[in-house]
């Protein structure tokens, strides 16, 4: 009797989840594709590129994994220093979520930075709820002010994308006065119409010479509310069935 109830309970859970939107759980079609992280710095026609290698990234545990730089990384074109990467942190969850955080210092002229995450691939979700947040802080190090200019459409600094296309363009450029700092942030939450099976994120901006900038971001998608309601109803129904059979 108990076995029958447990088996029916398990079938109800599976049916409730997959009837609405598939659950992108750890180990279920979850993977990272492309470079784990790629960074480009460009100044005066010179380009420095850096990528996070697979040998540096720890194995995913329960579908999650993160990496932080052990110290300052110099971004160079041959022997020419283009910029300094003071710190970088990436977090991936195949459930799915992407978090990208950084701190940089520009070289001796206006420097263009681009940070591109890996693409997280997961079991398709139908009409998922998505939340994207991003923030950037600038600091003037030279006494003549600092300006960070977004290079994405609309002058934005951050983008969150899915395999259906762009979901969010966030954060306008930001500036600060002599030896000052300033922060700008923006977020977006809503339902993505359609079936989503991958997400990624990117920062792209220019930064004035010798000045500093840092950024944080998070992009997460979860199953549509309808599938969660169906799951809750199934659980409640089979809990009632088990109780009646005990009586």
Tokens of 55: 């040998």
Phi, psi of 239 (to 5 degrees): -65, -40
- More confident: 235 or 178: 178
Q: What is the pLDDT of residues 86-142, one digit of tens each?
A: 999 999 999 899 999 999 999 999 999 999 999 999 999 999 999 999 999 999 999
Q: How confident is the model at residue 63 (pLDDT cuts 50, 70, 90)?
A: confident
Q: Are 208 and 106 in contact (CB under 8 A)?
A: yes
Q: Are 192 and 130 in contact (CB under 8 A)?
A: yes
Phi, psi of 144 (to 5 degrees): -120, 20
Residue showing tokens 């710095």? 41
Q: Are 115 and 48 in contact (CB under 8 A)?
A: no
| Count helices and strands in the chain by DSSP H and E runs | 2, 15
Q: What is the pLDDT of residues 4-25, one digit of tens each?
A: 433 443 333 333 333 333 333 3
pLDDT of residue 30: 60
pLDDT of residue 188: 98
| Dist CA 224 CA 25 (whole Å) | 15
Residue ranges of domains in the chain: 1-21+234-247, 23-222
Full DSSP string of 68-137? E-SS-EEEEETTEEEEEEEEEEEEEETTTEEEEEEEEEE-SS-EEEEEEEEEEEEEEEES-EEEEEEEEE
Gyration radius of the chain's alpha carbons: 22
| Dist CA 88 CA 64 (whole Å) | 17
| Dist CA 95 CA 239 (whole Å) | 27
Residue-level length of the chain: 247
């Amino acid at each position: 009797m108990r076995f029958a109830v447990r088996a029916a309970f398990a079938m109800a859970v599976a049916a409730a989840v997959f009837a609405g939107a598939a659950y992108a759980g750890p180990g279920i079609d979850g993977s990272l594709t492309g470079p784990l992280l790629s960074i480009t710095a460009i100044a005066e026609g010179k380009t420095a590129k850096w990528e996070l290698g697979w040998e540096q990234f720890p194995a995913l545990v329960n579908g999650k994994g993160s990496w932080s730089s052990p110290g300052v990384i110099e971004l160079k074109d041959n022997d020419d220093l283009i910029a300094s990467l003071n710190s970088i942190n990436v977090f991936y969850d195949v459930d799915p979520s992407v978090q990208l955080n950084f701190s940089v210092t520009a070289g001796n002229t206006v420097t263009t930075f681009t940070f591109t995450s890996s693409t997280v691939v997961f079991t398709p979700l139908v009409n998922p709820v998505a939340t994207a947040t991003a923030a950037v802080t600038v600091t003037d190090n030279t006494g003549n002010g600092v300006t960070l200019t977004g290079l994405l459409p609309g002058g934005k600094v951050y983008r969150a994308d899915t395999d259906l296309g762009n979901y969010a363009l966030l954060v306008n450029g930001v500036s600060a006065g002599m030896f000052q700092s300033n922060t700008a942030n923006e977020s977006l939450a809503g339902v993505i119409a359609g079936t989503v099976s991958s997400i990624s994120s990117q920062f792209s901006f220019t930064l004035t010479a010798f000045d500093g900038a840092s950024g944080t971001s998070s992009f997460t998608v979860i199953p549509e509310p309808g599938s969660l309601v169906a799951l809750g109803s199934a659980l409640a129904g089979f809990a009632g069935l088990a109780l009646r059979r005990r009586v």
